[in-house]
A and B are shown apart, each in its own frame.
Chain A
């Protein structure tokens, strides 16, 4: 029989990402059958209840209390194991805390005491996020609100407050920004330059910034607005303020807008703002219409690569050589030639929402049905746990998959399982993957995925099939690890590596068309 020990540490707060990483490490300790470190939220208590581990003491835990639950093997020393878990919990001092450093407990105190503080990055539970953001804005700080689960009403009132105070209110649910050449949260190391980006999509803006860099251009500012900014309710408050700020910024020569298609009334507002910018504005609204953009005097981009190319051209940069046109048809022919009868479906497993979206739109352009967990049409919508059907493109960064766990850019575990699962399906013609490098991301996404790719290919080979794997690595040569190193590791394992999100979409589209 194993022994279960539960400890509640009152008023002890850890962020969920730290706790999940502690849980992972604790579960790997010898003698531990199951370890669980989590805050005493209703959701976490529900998880424990399902596992049959919810004691009365744990039931009493408040969301500000830390719960440690340890199921130890029969012969294990529970006391010693608990000590090891406590050691794992020992808070590592943040890089900013030097010897004798002052610790601040509240935004208001830090904003007052830290000379020159000008921006707050907020990544707390959604229930508290709006409150913290309001404090930051009130204290005169720009805000990057990483948290999700913030209500639309809060988002609107925060953005209005920011607007009145002349501050940026980036987010909520915003993973990317580059301010003064410093990438915040998820972002890539790109050259400074004259292309300014305002984006409602995280990986979409990462992709455009990385492509601009690859073409020899550079980024002045990248302002992430949050995914709902261009909805009817929020009304593009941040995107219009962002355009205005870049229009007034002498270091910015050209402005790129990235988003999913805005609500029609918002599109009008945004394009009116673009028309008034007095600088070239390139608009990439995935799947958006060309007409309205052109009518507003802005430049329509049909893809992320197109957006980057136009931006670089308007910035007066001579595109770097070697970026020749991609012959998607020829590439697809080579792949399809090796397939067996019945291998006809493309399966895309993505970390980046916009990368998934762009590829999905490209495949749909071929006139075929595409299923996805981010499809708007319920007829083609797949639940997170559902098996793939036909051409399926999954965004593992979407809420259904991330509920209670870190983003796949940090922890790819779910995607790894799915990769092997897909290989068992004889109808699969190709697997399409993305790897996102940069700040905030996993330190070696390719390395951690290669064993699963090899396993998938072994499963297919045993069934007598060749299983092509196509991968795109979003990153620059300045990122750690570099895009070159990660791509080389993929190619060494027989993976076909594409050179942009747009190319990935074209490639997938041609395979979907040609594979029968």
Chain B
């Protein structure tokens, strides 16, 4: 906003200020005017413009409703409050514990899953694979075949992780005896939970479920989890936002790339792990396990994001997205001003390089709660912080920078507490505004892994994807319907 605001009195002449300054044009729509203006020596910036809502008339009309000045003012106020809560949240790692012991509402026969609600008969291959594997792990079934029967029997309670203060990577399948991170938001008092990283590719959350997978889960339940639990009892609460911020300064985007974050988290935990009551051999197992993959801290950051975003839920009139999550069939979003409601569209294909031997048609559709990282502002939103993984998702460094800039156009603020060095320490683009997504036609960008579409195989690649525009169209329409007339 470079033109000074002039007098607003009834008799004011149009800004003569324009006549006295150099013409500096923003050109929208027709590229051909760009050349003419530039040729006359004036500065011109031509937008890469697209019609609002991808051309959805319904969405554009809903936007007009939300633009009504009194309502827009209330929304702005509500959104300012929402992003203030998100950026002010201070998620601390306060411990680890079994889901049954720590997650409110958890029962021995509850299975949590990623994304919006889904029934067993609609689940895709990887999620079914993870569910049956978990039932075997819990001893609720003898083998995978019986597990499928149990899953279909109605005796199992399926719930979205997100509705249980939890987030889960990929299939997100979480059962009673699995150990969870306990992440407490010191600022607002709410708590978020998430599973432990299983590390390598052939793992339950990717849909793999053979004996090796279940054996690893048992070791995690009996050794890894309890040792982490003891460790935090020694170290005391660990400030995760601080570690997240450092990891991003060290070249992680903390969704697909977690090398720095894993080192930082392990560095914080190591003294506690060493003081734990386990044998040296067991400690070495844990150290080796953490070293086996960079992904150890991946779930941890998801819980950070969840703890912060949940603090914004229920702020009346807010159009800020607090959840983006996928169950492999549907992609769902939730909005601060409409707590508890899911707005869904079809899960999308993930585009990116695949492990040798796999082809795009092998991939399952987008799955997992990990898009909570993008909802907070890292992951795909912070691609410019992690040039090293740009190639993994098939792009250039310049594109990575543009990704972050583009996300800045659909978000409300920049997080002053978590910054990106390459952008002169600009904060993470924070607070996706449903209205801006529709208005600009820019969809959030999500970095993610690709699971094989069949049960039992696991991860086969990684790449980028977007939510379906439909989810945002539905949300903005519901917002307009709910808020219309409520502004006075």
Contacts and interface: CB of A to CB of B under 8 A. Distances in A.
A172 to B, nearest CB: 12
A123 to B, nearest CB: 4
A377 interface: no
Interface string A117-153: 1111111110110011010100111100011000000
Interface in B53-102: 53-57, 60, 63-64, 67
Given A13-B441, A248-B13, A105 B50 contact: yes
Most interface-central of A112, A115, A117, A127 (chain B CB within 10 A): A117
Interface stretch (A28-36, A181-189, A257-265, A496-504): A181-189
Contact of A117 (B31, B45, B405): B45
Contacts of A131: 52, 60, 63-64, 439
A110 B18 CA distance: 18
Contacts of B32: 17, 440
A94 B14 contact: no
A502 to B, nearest CB: 27
Nearest to A41: B55
A141 B23 CA distance: 11
A205 B331 CA distance: 54
A270 to B, nearest CB: 15
Interface stretch (B2-10, B170-178, B184-192, B300-308): B2-10
Interface in A72-118: 91-92, 94-97, 100, 102-112, 114-118
A241 B398 CA distance: 44
A96 B46 contact: yes
A239 to B, nearest CB: 11
A62 B43 contact: no
A55 to B, nearest CB: 19
Contacts of B441: 11, 13, 64, 105
Contacts of A39: 55
Contacts of B53: 64
B355 interface: no
B18 A107 contact: no
Contact of B43 (A17, A116, A165): A116
A184 B18 CA distance: 14
A162 to B, nearest CB: 8
A284 B208 CA distance: 81
Given A11-B54, A120-B26, A182 B49 contact: no
Nearest to B402: A103
B8 A123 contact: no
B33 A185 contact: yes
B43 A96 contact: yes
B26 A166 contact: no
B55 A62 contact: yes
A60 B144 CA distance: 42
Interface string A210-235: 00000000001100000000000000
Given A119-B23, A121-B25, A166-B14, A140 B49 contact: no
Q: How large is the interface on B (under 10, 10 to 19, 20 to 34, 35 or more residues)?
A: 35 or more
A167 to B, nearest CB: 6
B469 interface: yes
Contacts of A183: 36, 40
A107 B8 contact: no
B274 interface: no
B35 A11 contact: no
A343 interface: no
A164 B42 CA distance: 27
A418 B169 CA distance: 67
B49 A105 contact: yes
Nearest to A164: B8
Most interface-central of A15, A96, A125, A141 (chain B CB within 10 A): A96
A111 B64 CA distance: 21
Given A62-B54, A62-B55, A116-B21, A146 B15 contact: no
Contacts of B55: 39-41, 62-65
A168 B18 contact: yes
A105 B7 CA distance: 30
24 contacts: A13-B50, A64-B441, A94-B31, A96-B45, A104-B45, A105-B49, A105-B50, A105-B440, A106-B440, A109-B408, A114-B2, A118-B21, A118-B25, A124-B51, A146-B29, A146-B33, A147-B29, A166-B6, A167-B3, A179-B23, A182-B40, A189-B40, A241-B13, A440-B32
Interface of B: 1-8, 12-19, 21-57, 60, 63-64, 67, 398, 402, 405-406, 408-409, 436, 439-443, 469
Interface of A: 10-11, 13, 15, 17-18, 39-41, 62-65, 91-92, 94-97, 100, 102-112, 114-125, 127-128, 131-132, 134, 136, 139-142, 146-147, 162-168, 179-185, 189, 220-221, 241-242, 244-245, 247-249, 251, 439-440
